[in-house]
Amino acid sequence: MAKVILTGATGFVGKALAESLIKSGHEVIALVRTVSTALNPSIKQIQFDLTKIDRLNIKSFDTGAILIHAAARAHVMHDSSIDPLFEYRKVNRDATIELAKLASRSGARRFIYLSSIKVNGEQTTCGGVCKAEDLPTPKDAYGISKYEAEQGLLEIAANTRLEVVIIRPPLVYGPGVKGNFYSMMQVVKKGFPLPLGAVNNERSLVALDNLIDLIITCIDHPAAASQVFLASDGEDLSTTELLRGVAKAAGVSSRLIPVPVSVLMFMASLLGKKEIAQRILGSLQVDISKTRDLLGWTPPLTVEEGLRRCFVRNA
């Protein structure tokens, strides 16, 4: 088994990934801003700051180690910083590239980067799907910073012996999920009626356990080197279907009112919520055929099971 150095180990994805790595027999070293008692005690924790990578002891990286970079400045809907792109670039681009350079100098074997489907863009239209080989079209500061980090990593891989693997997930859900997905779960669970019973869009999601399974697959798979992979459950849902699935997982009846999408968009525009409405009502489909074909990977969990697991820890 490999020695795995993991950033973002205290986050939603990172914490679950760290546990799975330990269960799989890997030795895990977590690079953390603050030492956490919530992590498995068998995980060695090293304090570090993403913006001060030059202070990180190079001895942390043994020859042949695998580095999984899951830490990032997270995407927020309404960024209040004066220059959001500068702030995102500082952490998501510059720190990522410096970390990869350090890993390369120390003899690390592979660098697995958790990127974002926002590199591809915000929406798909007219039955289109996002593919790994598509020309990236990031629209916001977060997506731009992730894309620029990818470019820097691929350049390092082309000029050193460090193998780079890039994974772009869409929205990740699962036990411990927070943010808008958690809020949606609570609204559905409490039985509030929602005017979303006639939304016929198509959106790809990825269950936490499916994403973790893909990341672990990429640790040793020879075909993963220098590749960009998209992740999803392989089952696209409309917003209406998702809400019904969440209600079923919560053991309640869905209360969805079939309001036309055109009316919803009009009302959202009047309220200044057009961006939010586009995320709820628009489509974003992900094609994982490359991931399946090159890696022989199939998402182990169905959407139904993934949604059910959301309520195990969030009950």
**Is residue 142 annotated as a catalytic residue, yes or no?**
yes
Residue 151's contacts (CB-CB under 8 Å, 6 or more residues apart) are none
Q: Are 140 and 118 in contact (CB under 8 A)?
A: yes
Question: How far is residue 28 from each of residues 65, 206, 224, 243, measured CA to CA in Å?
Answer: 10, 24, 21, 37
Cα-based distances in Å from 74 to 11, 12, 94, 200, 219: 10, 11, 15, 29, 24
Is the separation of the CB atoms in 256 and 244 below 8 Å? yes
Structure letter (DSSP) for residue 53: G
Say if CB 286 and CB 230 are below 8 A apart.
yes
Q: Which of 88, 113, 142, 147 is catalytic?
A: 142
Longest CA pairwise span in the chain (Å): 59
Domain 3-175+206-234+287-300 is in which class? alpha beta
Domain locations in the chain as residue ranges: 3-175+206-234+287-300
Reading the block at residue 211, the tokens are 């994403």
Report pTM: 0.94
Eight-state DSSP code of residue 283:
B
CA angle 201, 199, 135 (to 5 degrees): 20
Q: Can you give the pLDDT of all 315 residues of the chain as single tens digits? A: 789 999 999 999 999 999 999 999 999 999 998 898 889 899 999 988 888 877 776 666 677 899 999 999 986 655 667 888 999 999 999 999 999 999 998 899 999 999 999 999 999 876 789 999 999 999 999 999 999 999 999 999 999 999 999 999 999 999 999 999 999 999 999 999 999 999 999 999 999 999 999 999 999 999 999 999 999 999 999 999 999 999 999 999 999 999 999 999 999 899 888 888 888 999 999 999 999 999 999 999 999 999 999 998 654
Place of tokens 């009502």: 281
Number of neighbouring beta carbons within 10 Å of residue 299: 22
Alpha carbons 199 and 264: distance in angstroms, whole number: 10
User: In this structure, what token pair is assigned to residue 305?
Assistant: 């099971």
Residue 228 pairs in a beta bridge with 166
Q: How many CB atoms lie within 10 A of CB 269?
A: 11
CA-to-CA separations, 9 to 54, 74, 205, in angstroms, rounded:
20, 14, 22
Q: Which two tokens stand for residue 136?
A: 């990236």
